[in-house]
Amino acid sequence: MTRVLIIGGYGAFGARIAERLSHDEGLEIVIGGRSGERAAAQALSLRGHANAKISHTSLDAQRASAADLRALGARIVINASGPFQGQDYALPRAAIDAGCHYIDLADARDFVAGITALDGPAKERDVLVVSGASSVPGISSAVVGAFAHEFARITQLDIGISPGNSFDPGVATTASVLGGVGKPIAMRIDGAARTVYGWQGIGQHHFPEIGKRWMGYVDVPDLGLFPEHYPSLETVRFRAGLEVGVFHIALWLLSWAVRAGLLKRPERLAESLLAAKKQLRWLGSDAGGMFVTIEALGRDGGPKRLTWTLIARSGDGPFIPAIASVIIARRLASGAERRRGAMPCFQLITLDEFDRAVADLDIGYPNVPRVPMDGSHGAS
């Protein structure tokens, strides 16, 4: 059996990773985190319907050593214990030293891009180290990879995510979001390096079925990774949005306070703002969306535009950031994944794999014609 340690396995995304993997025979799932009580409760909640063996442990992602990982008998370590902004590579280094594969859900641009510094040590120990196995860049890069053959030259990418208001992101994720409010972001626009600011560039995007959502700029690994892999790109944008307009406008106003120097540490507001959001859950819904728009020259030499849209209902949206790590962990456990070294999660999974992994969830691609390729994926 393959033992998989999920650090942060009772959090917003870690719990969903654990739920997905708990159905797999041949796995031993260890739920880990700073709180032994919460880890135990999560393990207990899974055992009733799990095919995998489930246990728990108390373990701090920032202090875990190679000896700790060896003592637990972990073969795969999944780190869902963000935020990753400001973190170092202590845990992936410990995993390498222990001979463990490592996967994380990081969305911090520098953290994900810098993981290649561990490529040599990872290859020496014959392990795979993957950073960014989340919605971005894990799923977004899979979308572009699936449709790239439709184009002669890709010139523009617009990517966006807007969760439903019912989603409880937790204090750590909220602090991570607030930490980027009003902060400068290096972004490629119209062929030039530009500086934009977190949660500014405000505008609306219309999602099929769930309507318009306000969106603003957010710093993600995609902004650096896509230009590296697709040199023809002139513009790469990423925006995120809150379902409830007044909440989004509040972040936009905070961004100006940060830029003006009136608010130095907006992340300190995480607990109070999250508490207010929870009290106002009724203002929104359990539906969220993600889109990737590709603009390019088509094979016929003319301009072409393609938009892939995903809509998640019934509160299933938070599974989306969990799925890339689940797919990679399953590949490693089965022996199907033979890559070794340290790398961002850029086109490491396919849309076919993603579709199969979420087939039982309330996730779909609305109002979108099918495009024949290696599988059935929505595009327009």
Higher-confidence residue of 283 and 138: namely 138
Spatial distance between the Cα atoms of 117 and 12, rounded to a whole number of angstroms: 29
- Give pLDDT, residue 175: 85
Per-residue pLDDT tens over the stretch 348-369: 999 999 999 999 999 998 855 4
How many contiguous H segments (helices) and E segments (strands) does the chain have? 13, 16
For 278-317, letters b (16+ CB in 10 Å) and e give eeeeeebbbbbbbbbbbbbeeeeeeebebebbbbbbebbb
Share above pLDDT 90 across residues of the chain, in percent, rounded to a whole number? 83
Per-residue pLDDT tens over the stretch 215-265: 999 999 999 999 999 999 999 999 999 999 999 999 999 999 999 999 999
Residue that has been written with the tokens 């969306």 in this structure: 289
Q: Residue 195 class from Cβ within 10 Å (0-12 exposed, 13-18 middle, 19+ buried)?
A: exposed
- Give pLDDT, residue 286: 95
pTM beyond 0.85: yes
Nearest by Cα to 236 from 144, 310, 309, 105? 144
Contact between 324 and 351 under an 8 Å Cβ cutoff? The reply is no
Read off the pLDDT band of 173 (50, 70, 90).
Answer: confident
Give the pair of three-digit tokens for residue 97: 């030293």
CB atoms within 10 A of CB 34: 16
- Give pLDDT, residue 289: 97
Per-residue pLDDT tens over the stretch 25-35: 999 999 999 99
Read off the pLDDT band of 80 (50, 70, 90).
Answer: very high
Average pLDDT for the chain: 93
Half-sphere exposure of 268 (CA within 13 A, CB side): 4
CB proximity list for 35: less than 8 A, separation 6 or greater: 10, 58
CB atoms within 10 A of CB 359: 8
Which domains can be identified in the chain, with CATH numbers? 2-134+318-357 (3.40.50.720), 136-315 (3.30.360.10)
Q: How far apart are the first and last CA of the chain?
A: 43
| C-alpha torsion 117→120→121→125, nearest 10 | 140
- Per-residue pLDDT at 5 exceeds 80: yes
Average pLDDT estimate for 300-312: 93
Peptide bond into 137 cis (omega under 30): yes
- Gyration radius from the chain CA atoms: 20
Average pLDDT estimate for 175-185: 92
- Give pLDDT, residue 368: 55
Report phi then psi at 217, rounded to 5.
Answer: -65, 140
- Give pLDDT, residue 379: 40
Instruction: Give, for 335, the enclosing helix (H) or strand (E).
Output: none
